[in-house]
Chains A and B, each alone.
Chain A
Amino acid sequence: MLEGLLTAFGNLAGPGPLFLIFAGTALGLMVGALPGLSSPMAIIVLLPITYQMDTLSAFQLMVGIYVGTKLGGSYASILLRTPGTPAAACTALDGFPMAEKGRAGEAIGYAVMASTAGGLIGWVAAVCFVPFIAAVALHSEPADIALIGIAGLILVSAFVRGSMVRGLIGVLLGLLIASVGYDVQEGVERYTFSNPMLASGISFAAVLVGLFGLTVVLADLALVGRRSELATRELNAELPRAVEFFRRWKAWTIGTAYGIIIGAIPGVGADGSTWLSYATVRNQSKDPPPEAFGTGVPEGILAPESSNNATTGGTMIPMLTLGIPGDASTAIMLGAMVLHGLQPGVTLMQTSAPLVYGILAAMFVANIMMFLIGWNASRVFISILRRDRSLLFPFIIVFASIGAFAADNDVFTIYVAIACGVAGYFLEKRGFSVVTIVLGAVLGPIIEYNVRLGLAYSNGDWAVFTATWPRLVLCGVIALLIVNEIYRAVGRRSESRAVSENT
């Protein structure tokens, strides 16, 4: 295992790979810094370019973007109070007040340090767990994968901030999209309306392009011609010292731990982990007291920023070992693997070990580069924030269309992307999250296929899903999740009733 990783690092030592990771990371930082543009979109837009590359190079670029956006999002959160990415929303709570006090440089410095620490520790976790879980997963049967997928799907709908019903509707829409086409087990046509172009279903890449590329452009059209006002004019503020950072180790270790664990849980990703770690750090903090959070304390930046970067390591674990995405970006990376002719899943480690190690090695380098770029070139990204980003829209539309076309070499997929983009725009406007749709569309077929395969193995006996101890545990987890959701929903309702009675 170590050998594989060392070889992968050895292969990185060249101008080509290093440049790709550098370019990806820098681009990720930039895209992340621009509110509304996030890493799934950046990866989607670059997908057509990566078709021409060999698989590992494509992933060096994508991993760079993935890591970079996680830090990039915090610039906008700190300076504009508009999060650059959903994962950085939490950082605004303390980052923006700090910037208002004229300590923007310090806030960004903390974000850079916490992101790097979180990213590197998350990477260590990924390196430790990927080979281990890959070895265990090889013995997994369809029933196991189906149960993990179901647990992930419940978590996706539960973690959508705000309304679980909306989350569930999003997931169901995703399932609906994924169910179009020939059914593998029975050979029945589903929702194809005898249209031969729908025979193999709706192209997943086209759905992604629509939901993450075109939806964003449509949603941001309102911003055309508008420039962003920064919290503070003077950005020359000094960066924090390393001692200050290590003194607050508790905040970023808690954030990192949450990031890794939540990242590794299929379907949730960084958006959920930041809030959880922020709340935990706040509640157990003595100095500064919990009340001080929200007024600009460094801990309030360290916790979410370490957490969102730590998820990048965590999400690698299910992605590389089970073929199950940890968040929207990894869902797209899995799609990219398929487009590059690979079979993501439990056998990936066996069939493409050099790629797995190559991705992990690239992730380490991307974290180092993120630190160097973030530390030295913050001003560049801050100046980008002042630009009118509508200039990017034509490029996004062009690349998104190319990406949709290239998925199947067909114009039909562009229409699919446009339809998804328009639908996604209205859904987002109504408070639905497109991420839930995408994860539904990814996890749905994985679950369906494995449930039915599991039943085919057992000759239709449902007991196969509780036949082994790990499956019983998974069933227990699923039951707990559902009970918890119901309990919380009921609790929330009685709470709001109590509030309305009091008033």
Chain B
Amino acid sequence: MKWKTGLALATAAMAAVAAMTAAKADDYPSDTVRVVVPWRAGGGTDTIARALAASMEKIAGKAVVVDNLTAGGGNAGHVHVKNAKPDGLTMLLNGSSDLNTPIIFRNVPYALEDYACVGAVYQTPTWVLAHKDQGFTDFNDFVEKAKTEPGKLTVGVGSLISAHYVLAKALLGKNGIDARIIPFDGGGPLKKAILGNQVTIGVIHAPVLLDAVKKGDINVIAAGGSLENITYKKVRDTKTVDQFKTPVEIGVVRGLFVPKSTPQEVIDQAAGLVEKAATSDDFKKFGAKFGFAPIWWDGKKFCDFLQKENKEYREIKAEFIDKK
């Protein structure tokens, strides 16, 4: 009798433990979530990651930390998430083109296939800027001037491995213009060159230089994609590049990734948390400050976009960059 009671108790205890474990699996996140950003603290992607992490933390009730793994030009961050435990607690936050361009243009130790998409929270196009002294109101003005002075005008881009460069090459190629592309050492130096009117036009991520645009020092002459989410209304109807013979969409969609081997169930749980955070009021308030309203795309939409972007960039590369 006694041992039967014992057995019953033990069984009950085991069942209870099992139930608790099951409850724990539902209770995502079970531990601190690490959001890996392959960029230095202070940049656009990092700012978004920190705001999102703050919202996620509030909703999850567990710590969500941003980890800037920048070594090797961001390679360390990508590889870290690629090899992370597939428990949904380590995620990569990066922009679509920031992930695609190194994969396409460089020899990097990771590929799109190494990641599963959780969802996207920000979509910002690149935009083409010109100092007001250039007197351009849209990209066609630049095209006309470039045709009269072949090889003279300059297009500044933030780096050779970027959406900026891809768009600059595509725009020049599709419009048949001979202008020189000048790569800078990142967005900061390019900003200075555009403000100082040292390059004829510059291609950079929106909303960089928005303050100067608002002041009227800088004109937005084309956008790599829709500017409908920008908070500054006056530039929302800027002509997109498809109106300048360049039917592509070039910008950056920032979202979260987990290792490929992560079970779909875990991805869904993580996506649930990120969606709540991305659509929270706090994150929307951040959007007002950032200059763009946040979005929410689920993992499938985000992954499809990445594939499409990858294909488009490869086409531009084959058509305008490789041949030379």
Binding site for B on A (CB under 8 A): 138-139, 141, 181-182, 184-187, 189, 194-200, 203, 338-343, 345-347, 408-410, 412-413, 449, 453, 456-457, 459
* B159–A199 CB distance below 8 A: no
* B42–A449 CB distance below 8 A: no
Partner of B71, one of A345, A413, A459: A413
* B188–A203 CB distance below 8 A: no
CA gap between A181 and B74 in the complex, in Å: 13
Q: Mark B137-153, 1 if CB is under 8 A from A, else 0.
A: 00000000000000110
* B198–A409 CB distance below 8 A: no
Contacts of B160 in A (CB 8 A): 184-187
CA gap between A413 and B40 in the complex, in Å: 15
A453 and B40 contact, Cβ closer than 8 Å, known pairs A196-B79, A196-B109, A409-B69: no
Secondary structure dominating the interface of B: loop
* A200–B73 CB distance below 8 A: yes
Contacts of A197 in B (CB 8 A): 71-72, 75-76
B296 at interface, CB cutoff 8 A: no
B67 at interface, CB cutoff 8 A: yes
Contacts of A346 in B (CB 8 A): 192
B316 at interface, CB cutoff 8 A: no
- Which of A181, A199, A346: most chain B CB closer than 10 A? A199
CA gap between A182 and B196 in the complex, in Å: 26
A187 and B184 contact, Cβ closer than 8 Å, known pairs A181-B73, A197-B72, A410-B76: no
* B71–A410 CB distance below 8 A: yes
Contacts of A408 in B (CB 8 A): 69-71, 76
A203 and B107 contact, Cβ closer than 8 Å, known pairs A184-B183, A346-B192, A410-B76: no
Contacts of B183 in A (CB 8 A): 184-185, 187
Contacts of A449 in B (CB 8 A): 185
B154 at interface, CB cutoff 8 A: yes
Contacts of A347 in B (CB 8 A): 188, 191-192, 195
Report the nearest B residue to A142, measured CB to CB: B198
* B67–A409 CB distance below 8 A: yes
A203 and B71 contact, Cβ closer than 8 Å, known pairs A194-B107, A347-B192, A408-B76: yes
* A409–B43 CB distance below 8 A: no
Report the nearest A residue to B159, measured CB to CB: A184
A457 to chain B, nearest CB (A): 7
B260 at interface, CB cutoff 8 A: no
A209 to chain B, nearest CB (A): 14
Report the nearest A residue to B108, measured CB to CB: A196
CA gap between A342 and B69 in the complex, in Å: 18
Contacts of B109 in A (CB 8 A): 196
* B72–A200 CB distance below 8 A: yes
For this complex, 22 residue pairs linking A to B, each with C-beta atoms less than 8 Å apart, are A138-B196, A182-B73, A182-B106, A184-B159, A186-B160, A195-B72, A196-B108, A197-B71, A197-B75, A199-B72, A200-B74, A203-B71, A339-B40, A340-B42, A341-B40, A345-B188, A347-B195, A408-B69, A409-B68, A410-B70, A453-B182, A457-B154
For the complex of A and B, the 4 pairs showing the least CB-CB separation, nearest first, are A341-B42, A200-B73, A410-B71, A408-B71
CA gap between A194 and B72 in the complex, in Å: 11
Which B residues between 65 and 117 are near A, CB-CB below 8 angstroms?
A: 67-76, 79, 105-109
- Which of B73, B159, B196: most chain A CB closer than 10 A? B73
Contacts of B68 in A (CB 8 A): 409
